[in-house]
Chains A and B, each alone.
Chain A
Amino acid sequence: MTYTQGDISQQLVDTSVWSDQDLADHGIPVFDVPFVSVGGGIGSFSMVDTLRIAGVTVDQIRVVSDLERPSQTYEYLAGNSQIRTDHRLRSDSSSVIDCIWGWPGYALREAWGKKTPSVAIQVFLEPVAADYYTPKAGQVYESINREAARISWSQMLTQGVVRHVRRRNHGDYFVLFTPPTGSASTKRIAFRTRFVHMAVGYPGVRFLDDLQQYRQQHNDYQRVVNAYEPHDHVYAEMRHRPCTVLVRGAGIVASRVLQRLIDDRDQHGAETTIVHLFRNYPTGPQGKKATFRRPASKGWVYQGFNFPKAAWGGQMRDHLESLEGKDRRDFIDAIGGTNTAPRKDWREQLDRGEAEGFYLQGRGQVQSVVPSPDSRQIRTVVGGGNGVPTTQYDADFIIDATGLEANIEEHRVVMDLLRHGGAGKNVKGRLDVARDFRVRGTDNGEGRIYASGSMTLGGYYAGVDSFLGLQYAALRIHDNLVSAGFGRRIGPGRSISQWWKWARNTAL
């Protein structure tokens, strides 16, 4: 059979296990490299950083990505959700993404670099007598760039979009990707590799069904927006004329969007009225036991980070590791779910807004989202029940800040892995990984596939979608790779010598 040379055929796509001959017949160039990370974002960065510190050389690692910098997607999403470089993220001081040791943390580095001892005092007193210290986005991005340069990230980066990760008939895998147009003589290229690391992040932005329906039916993508997509035009217009905006969601992104709206009132004279719609409305602490209770009030559930701190490295991590099936899902939901950070400045703004009447809260299930009778606004009808009457809100804009979750099957490579690679889904519908982040069911001879990041939520570790969680996963994967003969274990001696190199910014 003849094929278009340099490209895949439908027959190859339909074949779960590929051979060297298959790719030769298709004229697809194959390059050997022991370790390939798919994604190229912060997940790939933390993995590769750990491996480089463990002594794995540049020629043994390839990162296939369409990103130029590891923090690129993160910066894009954070920027859209109104976190600019001088704003603070929701991340612990010791979750230092450019430093696998976590010390010195962001607070000490900020205190030292900017000669501001106040942030060091804050981290010392948190959370007892001060809000949690959290780093500025710009500091995080700069430090990632610095570390990426130190570990020679650009030399390991292969520009391209991965299409398939497939088993090879004699063990190992093929990672097939599409290089940028004009950069290669063939349409596809493949790596033949023993170890694959998947860190593809979120497949996409999720919209609430009723809002998606409204957008499509009325072709209105300007007035109903998602907090994770570019929507600066909304704030710009609200600074020019008095508007009503309806915000949906009660998580950290909703908090930040509300802060932006009220900052614009305070600093730029915007006359915006905010209607904040809650689906669930807790009014008091959550949890029946005194030993398992978190604060909640006026619709918000509060905790420092998206999970309790001990989920990253304490008794909650231990507990979650011991759970299976429904118990695991329920526990993750109980310690996570929709919540936000209890920051004093946010609370002050909302209390003031409530008192002055520019911040209103609504609650209940949305029944419909339709144009208002004069078509100048968008009408949201909220259903009653539980003694709450049916209400309707007319707004000039709707901002959906309910989250970034999306079905992993929407990601082409992950879907391919589910269909052809033996991978399965976990109790939360994400990619099923073991405690060491091996993707269950995908081993091939001596080859192994690992995954880290948001796509693995529902496994044995809750904080997968965080800086510290990515570093934890990288360390577990590193230890597993060592047991498979790849790299040397980072023990105390190597750890100290490598930290010293890190501190001196010595290139690896």
Chain B
Amino acid sequence: MTPTLSGRIQSRIVLLGTVGIVWTLLIGLVVPRPEGAAVYKGLFTALLIVAVVGIVWELIYHVLQQYRWEKDWPTVFGLVLAIPEGIVAWALLQNGVPWDARPVQASTFLTMFITLWILIWAITNGPLQILFLRWRYRGGRFIGGWG
């Protein structure tokens, strides 16, 4: 992919706001629920962290991208970066940021985070172009960058 900064942020928010919400709802149905209905509070807090902190991540990625001649973002990066992002999201969640959503089981968080990450990674590496034909030329933007 060859994202622009705006395209990175737009793609992250749009996909987490659509695929992310639906997937989190579905995951909430299948994970163990020792905490009762509060499982969704933890899961959606995690989703929010990935979206909001993700904007900071995207700024960092954008800076790193400037050191690539092709100004691209290789497919494998998109997958591997789940590791640092996942660690940071888990740490924030465990420290009650932005609010206390504990207890969240590590297995629950990992199930949701890993499956959602792979799903969104797979969608952005192809199928999204079927829905939004101009998206790849616009550097990942849905608004702007065309015409």
Contacts and interface: CB of A to CB of B under 8 A. Distances in A.
Contacts of B2: 309-310, 312-316
Contact of B66 (A126, A291, A303): A291
Interface string B119-147: 00000001101111110111100000111
B69 A303 contact: yes
Contact of B133 (A290, A315, A318, A475): A475
B129 A318 contact: no
Interface in A210-261: none
A74 interface: no
Contact of A103 (B75, B126, B137, B145): B126
Contact of A490 (B5, B67, B133): B133
Interface in B87-142: 126-127, 129-134, 136-139
A100 B133 contact: yes
Given A291-B66, A317-B137, A475-B137, A308 B71 contact: yes
A170 interface: no
Nearest to B62: A315
A102 interface: yes
Interface stretch (A35-43, A368-376, A415-423, A491-499): A491-499
B44 to A, nearest CB: 27
A126 B74 contact: yes
A315 B144 CA distance: 13
A336 B50 CA distance: 38
A440 interface: no
The size bracket of the interface on A is 35 or more
Contacts of A101: 129-130, 133
A127 B71 CA distance: 12
A287 B138 CA distance: 26
Contacts of A475: 133-134, 137
A313 B7 CA distance: 11
Contacts of B5: 315
Contacts of A495: 130-133
A437 interface: no
Contacts of A105: 126
A104 interface: yes
Given A129-B76, A492-B132, A304 B70 contact: yes
A285 to B, nearest CB: 9
B70 A303 contact: yes
The size bracket of the interface on B is 20 to 34
B130 A496 contact: yes
B4 interface: yes
A287 B66 CA distance: 13
A109 B66 CA distance: 31
Contacts of B139: 310, 313-315, 317-318
A305 B136 CA distance: 17
Contacts of A435: 147
Contacts of B138: 313
Nearest to A307: B70
Interface centre among A127, A436, A472 (most CB of B within 10 A): A127
Contact of A318 (B4, B72, B127): B4
Interface in B1-16: 1-5, 7
A501 B46 CA distance: 39
Given A314-B2, A314-B139, A490-B133, A309 B67 contact: no
Contact of B70 (A104, A108, A308): A308
A315 B126 contact: no
Nearest to A461: B137
B93 to A, nearest CB: 30
B135 to A, nearest CB: 9
A123 interface: yes
A108 B127 CA distance: 13
A395 B131 CA distance: 56
A490 B146 CA distance: 14
Nearest to B5: A315
17 contacts: A100-B133, A103-B126, A104-B126, A126-B75, A290-B67, A291-B67, A310-B72, A312-B137, A313-B137, A313-B138, A314-B7, A314-B71, A318-B4, A479-B147, A492-B131, A492-B132, A495-B130
Interface of B: 1-5, 7, 66-67, 69-72, 74-77, 126-127, 129-134, 136-139, 145-147
| 9 cross-chain pairs, A with B, having the tightest CB-CB distances, nearest first | A314-B2, A310-B71, A103-B126, A313-B137, A310-B2, A309-B72, A291-B66, A308-B70, A309-B70
